[in-house]
Chains A and B, each alone.
Chain A
Amino acid sequence: MRDEATFTVKAGLAEMLKGGVIMDVVDPEQAKIAEAAGACAVMALERVPSDIRRDGGVARMSDPEMIEGIQAAVTIPVMAKARIGHFAEAEVLQALEVDYIDESEVLTPADEANHIDKWPFKVPFVCGATNLGEALRRIGEGAAMIRSKGEAGTGDIVEAVRHLRTINGEIRRLGTLDDAELATAAKEHGAPLDLVRSVAEHGRLPVVVFCAGGIATPADAALVMKLGAEGVFVGSGIFKSEDPERRGAAIVEATTHFKDPARVLSASRGLGHAMESLETRKLDEQQLLASRGW
């Protein structure tokens, strides 16, 4: 008796990605470079977030032919993004048999009230979160992996740090509450009570948590790993830098050896210029991607 696509196997794939780097790639050639640099998975998309910012317009699911080209080019898992609430895009990605779907604020939302009901899908979903309530709402909808959002396409780590610290601080605070207070906390977080109780009991989310949005250097990766991330997504940070092969491999090395500053140091040497960056504080409210999703 075989059960396919259970929550255990969905969340289990994220367990196997832990300690790794998931890299944004826009074509098969970049996918091969990412794989050779040690990426544990690639995110196939048409434009990296910094280009989406620059170009403007509606950002949608990628061309299936481009995703298929990437699937054919590498053996590591291939992820792809669907717009928030766009379950038809997610169904197309499932028919393509991508390994993970990212319901992503980097694309233009399709539904401003509802996220995708992720339970009926066989493909697992990863979703972004800026705080604990948002993470638990996504898990309640069926997400099998969470990434802190950060501010994609900026090369500025400040929002990633804010979101990780917020999520982990809120988890620690739940551990100090009694049962009556947990019910109130569930209301305040806008999160399902059973998940709030589970987090309070175990001191962690029931799924793997990666960090995304703003990682540009090996030291950035080490910082977020030290703050409790279990792995990292790097978007524009690799292929918008001067030497993607070396920088990709260096971020992989720093993610494995984040506890050893000597290794982060050696990984940081001679990488050339990092991506062109944007200071998040200087962006207008409507340019912020992290506030998409609810």
Chain B
Amino acid sequence: MSDAAGAPVRVGVLALQGGFEAHGRMLRALGADVREVRVPGDLDGLDALVLPGGESTTMTLGIEREGLAEPLRAFHAAGRPMFGTCAGLIMLDRAHLGIMDILAERNAFGRQVHSFEEELDFGLPGGPVHAVFIRAPWIAEHGAEVEVLASVDGHPVAAREGRLLVISFHPELGSDTRLHELFLQIVAGTA
């Protein structure tokens, strides 16, 4: 994946805590130039950002400690795409960074013993996506501009709003790269 000039796209992965390494591995395998983001200065020069899974309370406190909330909102306002998975979805919602017009319900499926895997239809070429849900949230409310991409038990678990993509499960933990490819297409302006 590269930009018009042939340089690889530069994708940041928020690395305060959580599953950032797995996202980095998958994005590198798809040809992106990946940088871990811990402080506002790390956002400079990036084309896009992934907010990974992890503990949403820990991540919220980390964003506060590092003064990252305003820089992240500015990153979005500048038109740069963002991809939130699990806790990353929560970070983008109305109650946290307020970047995406969704409201997440945390730990919506219950405690860890109720974490699960299932095949989920995304309407993507190649058939259903194998989705791994870990103490996952769902989207309890969303605005009219938000397109729901997939649901479980009637609750949205994947959605898109312009250049924002959110998924409540963990596409980075498997070997299916299609959802990361979808994000890179959003970055490239081809999806």
- Chain A residues packing against B (C-beta within 8 Å): 1-6, 8-10, 12-13, 15-20, 35-36, 38-41, 75-77, 94, 97-100, 122-124, 249, 252-253, 256-257
Is A77 within 8 A of B54, CB to CB? no
Interchain CB contact (< 8 A) of B135 among A2, A94, A99, A253: A99
- With a cutoff of 8 Å between Cβ atoms, the chain B residues found around residue A75 in the complex are 57, 106-107
Interface centre among B57, B112, B117, B133 (most CB of A within 10 A): B112
User: Is A8 within 8 A of B61, CB to CB?
Assistant: no
Closest CB in chain A relative to B56 CB, distance in Å: 8
Q: List 30 A-B contacts (CB under 8 A).
A: A5-B116, A6-B116, A6-B117, A9-B117, A9-B132, A9-B133, A13-B134, A15-B22, A15-B170, A15-B173, A16-B18, A16-B19, A16-B86, A16-B135, A20-B17, A20-B58, A38-B58, A38-B61, A41-B55, A75-B57, A75-B106, A77-B55, A77-B112, A97-B112, A97-B113, A99-B111, A99-B112, A122-B113, A256-B16, A256-B62
Residues 11-23 of chain B, each 1 if its beta carbon lies under 8 Å from chain A, else 0 = 0000111111110
Find chain A residues with CB under 8 A from B132 CB: 8-9, 12
Q: In the docked arrangement, what's the CA distance between A139 and B4, Å?
A: 47
Give the contacting residue for A40; candidates B15, B58, B115, B170; CB below 8 A.
B58
- Check A18 against B18 for contact (C-beta < 8 Å): yes
Chain B positions 38 through 77: 1 when the CB is less than 8 Å from some CB of chain A, otherwise 0: 1000000000000001110110011001000000000000
Are A19 and B16 in touch, CB under 8 angstroms?
yes
Question: Which among A41, A100, A256 has the highest number of chain B CB atoms within 10 Å?
Answer: A256
Contact A20 B111 (CB under 8 A): no
* Contact residues in A for B18 (Cβ distance below 8 Å): 16-20, 40
**In the A-B complex, the 4 residue pairs with the closest CB atoms:** A99-B112, A9-B115, A40-B55, A19-B17
Contact bitstring B61-102, A, C-beta under 8 A = 1, else 0: 110010000000000000000000011000000000000000
Chain B residues, CB < 8 A from A249? 65
Q: Is the CB of B16 within 8 A of A12?
A: no
> Which residues from chain A contact B19 at a C-beta distance below 8 Å?
15-16, 18
Chain B residues contacting A15 (CB-CB under 8 Å) are: 19, 22, 53, 170, 173
B65–A253 CB distance below 8 A? yes
Known: A19-B17, A77-B135, A256-B38. A12 touches B58 (CB 8 A): no
Contact between chains at B118 and A39 (CB < 8 Å): no
Out of A18, A41, A100, name the residue touching B21 (CB < 8 Å): A18
Known contacts A13-B135, A76-B57; is-contact A18 B17 (Cβ 8 Å) = yes
Question: Could you say which residues of chain A place their CB within 8 Å of the CB of B113?
Answer: 4-5, 94, 97, 122-123
Give the residues in chain A near B119, CB-CB below 8 Å: 1
A9/B116 in contact, CB under 8 A: yes
Question: How far apart are A74's CB and chain B's nearest CB, in angstroms?
Answer: 8
Contact with A along B108-152 (1 / 0, CB 8 A): 001111111111000000000000111100000000000000000
Contact of A1 with B118 in the complex, beta carbons under 8 Å: yes
Measured between beta carbons, the chain B residues less than 8 angstroms from A252 are 58, 61-62
A100: chain B residues at CB < 8 Å are 112
